[in-house]
């Protein structure tokens, strides 16, 4: 018997309401400027996001998927090349590789952290491998030191899919700084979310940044000169102005997520398998995922108690229709499959109240 949703998985409206005056002022500033693309708001947001990420360059683009794709394309990766990707991730990680005609090579994630297993990655390297593309899944950093060594030892590009990791740190350094370039998403539900789609590339590599800058704008660095086949994938002034406002609150909002995660970690241990924080990691807790052998029954129980949950992700990329009929559909990924069958995400967010956290804990504990 459902009593209706009392604790929604994630609500975006309270965040918009909290910042409403600042957002209104930012939107009004853009409206009154008469300039809506590739202007001062973009420049200011790129500078601010680069600084937050500890990177020398930031290029904002239309989505996280485009950010990933442009990094790979900017380094000349394409047909015939292989890119190592985790077996368990949001499918965009794989789609970016497929979009440029390269081959995603799935590698198992490690059971504890759900991120690319560096030993499995080492075993998957062939003479065609061009890049390693780990994901900081759920906001937990991948094993970046080991992956950096692996990439360097084999002359490979290391790209961080940091689309869920705004503010995550590893050994005190912002995630993304271990890789040659990092891709970010500003999808509304991410820790730093726009009021629509958006993405960015951060890097210390000036050439790579310049190339991504061209790719997002019709292959052009100077107006009406097109030196390569590019795309239209620009982050507009309105979204940049909104993101500048929200970036000012990211650290505080992440701190609230950390507080919620600490309560779950302290109180749920006897009831579910808890996420494991890597040594040296400060996750941004984009998602709080737990595992249970009777996951579907647990979800039903929580729903009956008014607690909304989601599964990230119920179908791993290799089992998606997008890869049906390809060799990828036959990939042997028992760990990724097991995670998909047992994982569930509990409500977490910067505006989840203490009372809601109590309700979630009571509901899980009474299963
Ligand atoms: C959200 C996400 C993306 C894609 O970002 P979009 O902005 O939605 O295109 C890529 N990878 C991961 C891991 C994501 O969570």
Same domain, 98 and 34: yes
What residues contact 56, with CB distance under 8 A and at least 6 apart?
A: 50, 203, 204, 206, 209
Same domain, 317 and 294: yes
Q: By residue range, what is the domain housing residue 32?
A: 15-107+114-247
Return the ligand 1 atom nearest residue 164 CA: 15
Residue nearest (by alpha carbon) to ligand 1 atom 10: 92
Report d(CA 324, CA 306) in Å as an integer: 36
For the domain that residue 223 is a member of, what is the CATH number? 3.40.640.10
Return the ligand 1 atom nearest residue 187 CA: 7
Residue nearest (by alpha carbon) to ligand 1 atom 5: 64
Ligand 1 centroid – CA 88 distance (Å): 13
Return the ligand 1 atom nearest residue 92 CA: 10
Give the chain's domain count. Answer: 2
pLDDT at 337: 97
Same domain, 176 and 99: yes
Same domain, 103 and 217: yes
Contact in structure between 139 and 345 (CB atoms under 8 Å):
no
Ligand 1 centroid – CA 345 distance (Å): 17
Ligand 1 centroid – CA 99 distance (Å): 14
Same domain, 228 and 255: no
Ligand 1 centroid – CA 358 distance (Å): 30
Q: Examine the fold and report which residue of 196, 215, 247 is the final residue of a domain before the chain moves on.
A: 247
Ligand 1 centroid – CA 185 distance (Å): 6
Q: What is the pLDDT along the chain (367 residues), one digit of tens a residue?
A: 445 679 999 999 999 999 999 999 999 999 999 999 999 999 999 999 999 999 999 999 999 999 999 999 999 999 999 999 999 999 999 999 999 999 999 999 999 999 999 999 999 999 999 999 999 999 999 999 999 999 999 999 999 999 999 999 999 999 999 999 999 999 999 999 999 999 999 999 999 999 999 999 999 999 999 999 999 999 999 999 999 999 999 999 999 999 999 999 999 999 999 999 999 999 999 999 999 999 999 999 999 999 999 999 999 999 999 999 999 999 999 999 999 999 999 999 999 999 999 999 999 999 9
pLDDT at 1: 41
Neighbours of 200 (CB within 10 A): 29
Same domain, 233 and 90: yes
**Pocket mutation for ligand 1, best pick of 61, 64, 66, 93 (most atoms within 8 Å of C-beta):** 64
Question: 367: helix, coil or strand?
Answer: coil
- Residues contacting ligand 1 via CB (< 6 Å): 63-65, 89-90, 92-93, 135, 161, 163-164, 185, 187, 197, 199
Ligand 1 centroid – CA 242 distance (Å): 19
- Angle 219-222-224 from CA coordinates, rounded to 5°: 75
**Pocket mutation for ligand 1, best pick of 68, 160, 164 (most atoms within 8 Å of C-beta):** 164
Please tell me the pTM assigned to this model. 0.98
In-domain check, residue 9: no
């Amino acid at each position: 018997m459902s009593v209706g949703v009392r604790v929604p998985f994630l609500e975006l409206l309270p965040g918009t309401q909290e910042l409403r005056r600042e957002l209104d002022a930012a939107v009004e500033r853009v409206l009154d400027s008469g300039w809506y693309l590739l202007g001062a708001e973009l420049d200011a947001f790129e500078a601010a996001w680069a600084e937050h990420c500890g990177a020398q360059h930031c290029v904002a683009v239309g989505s996280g998927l485009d950010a990933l794709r442009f990094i790979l394309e900017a380094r000349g990766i394409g047909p015939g090349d292989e890119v190592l990707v985790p077996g368990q991730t949001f499918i965009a990680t794989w789609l970016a590789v497929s979009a440029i005609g390269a081959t995603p090579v799935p590698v198992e994630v490690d059971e504890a952290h759900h991120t690319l297993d560096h030993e499995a990655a080492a075993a998957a390297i062939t003479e065609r491998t061009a890049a390693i593309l780990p994901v900081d899944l759920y906001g937990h950093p991948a094993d970046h030191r080991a992956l950096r060594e692996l990439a360097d030892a084999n002359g490979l590009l290391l790209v961080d899919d940091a689309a869920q990791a705004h503010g995550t740190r590893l050994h005190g350094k912002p995630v993304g700084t271990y890789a040659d370039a990092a891709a970010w998403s500003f999808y509304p539900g991410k820790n730093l979310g726009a009021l629509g789609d958006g993405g960015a590339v951060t890097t210390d590599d000036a050439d790579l940044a310049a190339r991504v800058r061209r790719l997002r704008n019709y292959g052009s660095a100077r107006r009406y000169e097109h030196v390569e086949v590019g795309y239209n994938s620009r982050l507009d002034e309105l979204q940049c102005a909104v993101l500048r406002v929200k970036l000012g609150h990211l650290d505080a909002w992440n701190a609230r997520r950390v507080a919620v995660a600490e309560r779950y970690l302290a109180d749920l241990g006897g009831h579910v398998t808890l996420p494991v924080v890597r040594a040296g990691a400060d996750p941004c807790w984009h998602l709080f995922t737990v595992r249970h052998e009777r996951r579907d029954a647990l979800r039903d129980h929580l729903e009956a108690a008014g607690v909304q949950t989601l599964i990230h992700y119920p179908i791993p990329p290799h089992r998606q229709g997008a890869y049906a009929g390809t060799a990828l559909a036959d990939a042997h990924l028992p760990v990724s499959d097991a995670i998909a069958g047992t994982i569930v995400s509990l409500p977490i967010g910067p505006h989840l109240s203490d009372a809601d956290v109590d309700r979630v804990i009571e509901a899980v504990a009474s299963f």
